[in-house]
Amino acid sequence: MPLGIKKNGTEEKLNVPREEKLHSEEMWLPSVEASSLDVEDVARKLDTNFLTGLSWAEAERRKSMFGANEFVVKNEDPIWRKYMEQFQNPLILLLLGSAFVSICMKQFDDAVSITVAILIVVTVAFVQEYRSEKSLEALTKLIPPSCHCIRESKVHSFYARDLVPGDVVLLNLGAQVPADLRLFETIELSIDESSFTGETEPVTKQTKRRKTDENKSTWETMAYMGTLVRCGSGKGIVVSTGDRSDFGQMFRLMQAVESPKTPLQESMDTLGKHLSYISFGIIGFIMLAGWLQGKPLLDMFNIGVSLAVAAIPEGLPIVVTVTLALGVTRMAKRNAIVKKIPTVETLGCVNVICSDKTGTLTKNEMTVTNIVTSDGWRAHVTGSGYNNVGAVQIQDISSDSETALMARSSIYNVLEVGCVCNNAAISPEGSLRGQPTEGALLAAAMKYGMLACSSNYHRLQEYPFNSEMKIMTVRCMPRSAHNESRQEIFFSKGAIEKILQYCSKIHYQGRCLPINMDHQQRVLGEARQLATQGLRVIGMARGDSMEAMEFLGMVGLHDPPRPQVRQAVDIFHGTGVQVVMVTGDAMETAVSIAELLGIYRPNSTVVSGEQLDAMADDELKDRVMEVSVFYRVTPRQKLRIVQAFQSVGAVVAMTGDGVNDCVALKAAHIGIAMGKNGTDVSKEAADMILVDDDFYTIMAAVEEGKGIFYNIRNFIRFQLSTSIAALSLITITTLAGLPNPLNAMQILWINILMDGPPAQSLGVEPVDKDVIRQPPRSSKQSMIDRSLIANVLLSAAIIVLGTLFVFQRELQDNKLTPRDTTMTFTCFVLFDLFNALSCRSQDKSVLEIGLGTNRLFIAAVLLSLCGQLLVIFFPPLQWVFQTEALHFQDLAFLTAITSSVLIVSELKKWIQRHPPFRLFSPAVNRGRSRSDLI
């Protein structure tokens, strides 16, 4: 079957016969073998067709044979084994030893009680860890990679996991290579293979292998899974997928390496270790002091071990991970996908946001609204969307048929360039495949009845658009039978000032005239007039060579601002966050949109790419905080802008969607890529992806990030206050020579509350809507600061004093009874629950945030209360915890006493929010200037 194949822009005829069905082991090729074969041999071996690709039925058959194009994760341990691993905790082993000693001393009731406690503690820890793993596992499935593939002669877009050997894949600028491919067509194709070779320079690809260097780690005829297209386009045959790919071999090695912990997890580990050392020291002292006072050694041992389990926050890193993972999942529901959990920590510190204009601040729904030809004809284009609904209305056209014909011809010439110099496609249903700008040009041509004009030319070569040149050019050959001279034609579109540099002639009233300075000034004036209306201006030219082109005219494209962006910008400015527009558009267009959105303000300045290059680093450092708009910038300049802000201590978030943005995205503290129109390159470099490409979503992400930080602080406050209170209570009673107010089982029950549902629910507290209006947090601010320590010590002191008061009151007869320990135990538990309620917010009243806003917390508290009542009134649990039933008056008395921790906390918050104590309020920082925040 004859097949048309393009190699580096030229067309050849291949004859690849179909073969009989091949064995499964022959239907994939290692990259080394595929690179050494001609493309015809690769197609023959894989039984595929360059033009039509595989049939859907054959693809399904091969998928069932090879499996999905994804990596098989190593088999996880069964749940029962993960559960048993919890018993390897040294503290749990100590408890088991305590239970064994109790059996040896025939204290079977203690042994049973301790065993039950072990099972409860282990189960809680297992559920926490399992929940953390599942939350993180879900995050990896948020962004399934997709690809463009030819099946049954048509181009389809679907998930890369459905590719099979023999599929024909199309590669475009910015795409991630979905499988190992043997290339058979390349157009200026270069691929970033730094993930394989470590080399930062992209590799230029071709279709024929050269034998200049047999020691290369990658081949020029191959495109490897996981690499990124940096320039041009191409096509290739899938030769291996999944684990059989070269990247799959690296993945198998990678599976043996565990992922590093996040900085926040590491800091929590360090905190846990320090607290553990302190706790063990105190516990050892308690055991020694009790033994010297003549208390039974086994009792002191059981108390000490139980206190170790309760006081040491071994679950702290796990709870932090769960809180972060659930917060990240919540962000995903608000269209912000965080790729790296540490990003969450940085979100609340951002004080400069460098945002691209097109697609982020605006909708990126381009529509051609104005056409201006080189000979002065103007046309207004109606309608919107990628369809033919609308019309091209030529203005000021006379009734003279010859003049009207000339005007229509000039408009035709402009739109013809837009159609021919174009890689987009519009489906009959109105969906666009390609860039919005190119889609808008096709839609304008459709409205003028000339969409098929590109079929009049045979494309020979493409010079793709890049951010440095800012133009795209195609070299074509007319298909007309009258074109006996075989004269080639170049079509170019791009930035006006760049297009004019290649033009030596101008089209004027059907004639081709030499271009002069007056012509150029008139063209630039027309472009400025369109740009001041907020339109993006694109120039059009054609010619016999790129050095001598003929200027034909320009189009103005309207891209409306996104709703709510102005609101987000105003909120950011109000909190001291500077929003900066960084765009490749002309100054007039950029400033017009920036003024509309509130980014450009009277006291701010604008800087062009050329001015940026003329500035020394020190000058840019001095001026960068005054600039609100950078226009006509290059990728290198975007990187310099980010570095300039960082040099003055700013925490920078940078948005981008193209290949040209990836360096700046990677250099910024938080790189933000676009999910809809962003390239795979930008998504790979970014830390966060906006699913809807909307700037307003950045505000939602910052809001969630700040909320997560404060939720973790609330949890730490609760856990530390409980831990310190438990240690202090036992220490004081031991030093005072009093009986132990809590037995081992009761201490373990308190540990379950400290690490269990009430604590967990603090991590999912809904984000306070006012948190976004707080200033950015200093990146050097510790999770545990003076304010948190003060709150922890205050709560712990109230809990200890209140519990000691109840214990001393019940111990008036100097004889310890089950009622005494039950009253003391219940007092401590109720203190714990009221303390959890006060920990829901650091500066807002519980009534202000609403009792029912966190339903999970309410359920957790009610569950804990029910559990405590069962411990008090349910006979089997009374035996386990050595408690007895209390009267209603007892519970009312305990409730009145324990609510004091909530009342004092609420009073402290009220004092902080009102004069004359406002100086000490965290909210006072909201009035700080931006210079104080950096």
Give 777-798 pLDDT, tens digit per residue.
Answer: 776 666 677 888 889 999 999 9
Residues facing 156 on adjacent strands: 149
Question: SS3 letters for 863-907?
Answer: HHHHHHHHHHHCHHHHHHHCCCCCCHHHHHHHHHHHCHHHHHHHH
Q: For residue 1, tell me if it sits in a domain.
A: no
**Would you say residue 145 has pLDDT above 70?**
yes
Look at residues 515, 541, 558 and tell me which one is the last residue of a structural domain.
558
- Tell me, yes or no, whether 99 and 223 share the same domain: no
* CATH number, position 206: 2.70.150.10
Assigned domain for 489 exists: no
Give the integer Cα–Cα distance in Å for 43 and 62: 15
Shared-domain flag, residues 568 and 611: yes
Residues 86, 25 share a domain: no
Residues 695, 675: Cα–Cα separation, whole Å: 12
Q: What is the DSSP secondary-structure string of 302-352?
A: HHHHHHHHHHS-TTHHHHHHHHHHHHHHHHHHTTEEESSTHHHHHHTT--E
Task: Spot the catalytic one: 356, 585, 661, 755.
Answer: 356
Q: What is the pLDDT of residues 22-58, one digit of tens each?
A: 444 557 888 888 888 888 999 999 999 988 999 999 9
Reduce the DSSP state of residue 73 to 3 states and report it: coil
What total of structural domains would you count in the chain? 5
Q: Give yes or no for a contact between 323 and 715, defined as CB atoms under 8 angstroms apart.
A: yes
* H-only helix segments in 140-218: 194-197
Instruction: Answer whether residue 18 shows pLDDT above 50.
Output: no
Residue 491, in any domain of the structure: no
Expressed as residue numbers, the domain containing 536 is: 367-389+405-421+432-465+496-558
Please choose, from the candidates 553, 555, 542, the residue with its C-alpha nearest in 3D space to the C-alpha of residue 509: 553
Q: Could you report the per-residue pLDDT of 822-842, keeping only the tens digit for each?
A: 999 999 999 999 999 999 888
- Cα-based torsion angle of the residue sequence 241, 243, 245, 248 in order, rounded to the nearest 10 degrees: 130
Q: Are residues 741 and 830 in the same domain?
A: yes
> Which band of pLDDT confidence, cut at 50, 70 and 90, is reported for residue 194?
low
Does residue 33 fall inside a structural domain? yes
Residue 124: pLDDT above 90? no
**Domain-terminating residue out of 94, 123, 138:** 138
User: Does 887 lie in the same domain as 758?
Assistant: yes
Do 575 and 678 lie in one domain? The reply is yes
Kindly report, residue by residue over 206-259, the tens digit of the pLDDT. Answer: 888 765 545 455 688 999 987 888 778 899 999 998 878 887 776 665 455 444
Does pLDDT of 132 surpass 60?
no
Q: What CATH number does the domain containing 606 carry?
A: 3.40.50.1000
Q: What percentage of residues in the chain have a pLDDT greater than 90?
A: 28
pLDDT at 857 over 60: yes
Q: Are residues 569 and 672 in the same domain?
A: yes
Tokens read off for 131: 């929940």
Rounded distance between C-alpha atoms, residue 476 and residue 624, angstroms: 45
356 three-class SS? coil
- 96 in Cβ contact with 299 (< 8 Å): no
Q: How confident is the model at residue 181 (pLDDT cuts 50, 70, 90)?
A: very high
Question: What is the per-residue DSSP string for 229-244?
Answer: EEEEEEEEEEEE-GGG
Query: Tokens representing 662?
Result: 């990836």
Q: What is the CATH classification number for the domain harbouring 416?
A: 3.40.1110.10
Our answer to whether residue 356 is catalytic in this structure is yes
Distant-in-sequence, close-in-space partners of 340: CB < 8 Å, separation ≥ 6: 687
pLDDT class for 319, splitting at 50, 70, 90?
Answer: low
Tell me which residue of 230, 217, 225 sits closest to 190, measured CA to CA. Answer: 230
- Regarding whether 346 and 451 lie in a shared domain, the answer is no
Query: Is 924 within the bounds of a domain?
Result: no
Q: Which of 137-141, 718-722, 757-761 has the lowest mean pLDDT?
A: 137-141
Contacts of 672 (CB under 8 A, 6+ apart): 653, 654, 655, 656, 665, 686, 687, 688, 689, 690, 698
Looking at the DSSP bridge assignments, the partners of residue 452 are none
Within 46-202, where are the H helices?
Answer: 56-66, 79-85, 90-104, 108-139, 194-197
**Contact call for residues 337 and 636 (beta carbons, < 8 A):** no
Question: Do 185 and 171 form a contact (C-beta atoms < 8 A)?
Answer: no
Q: Where are the alpha helices (DSSP H) in 736-817?
A: 744-755, 757-762, 786-810
- In sequence order, which residues have a C-beta less than 8 Å from that of residue 815 and are 6 or more positions away? none
The closest of 309, 147, 105 to 723, measured between CA atoms, is 309
Spell out the SS3 assignment of 491-551: EEEECHHHHHHHEEEEEECCEEEECCHHHHHHHHHHHHHHHCCCEEEEEEEEECCCCCEEE
Same domain, 282 and 314: yes
Are 577 and 706 in contact by the 8 Å Cβ rule? The answer is no
Q: Are residues 411 and 520 in the same domain?
A: yes
Contacts of 506 (CB under 8 A, 6+ apart): 374, 512, 513, 514, 515, 519, 523, 550, 551
Say which CATH number the domain at 854 has.
Answer: 1.20.1110.10
The last residue of a domain, from among 660, 693, 726? 693
Rg (CA), the chain: 35
Identify the band that residue 131 occupies on the pLDDT scale cut at 50, 70 and 90. low
Residues 357 and 593 sit within 8 Å (Cβ to Cβ)? yes
Tell me, yes or no, whether 286 lies in a domain.
yes
Token couple for 688 = 């966060």
Confidence of residue 318 (pLDDT cuts 50, 70, 90): low
For residue 879, give both structure tokens: 């035996």
Same domain, 326 and 341: no
Buried b / exposed e along 822-854 (16+ C-beta atoms within 10 A):
bbbbbbbbbbbbbbbbbbbbbbbbbeebeeeeb
Does residue 888 lie in a domain region? yes
Query: Do residues 180 and 314 share a domain?
Result: no
Q: Which amino acid is at 645?
A: F
For residue 136, pLDDT over 50 is answered with no
Q: Which residue has the higher pLDDT, 263 or 479?
A: 479
In a domain, 180, yes or no: yes
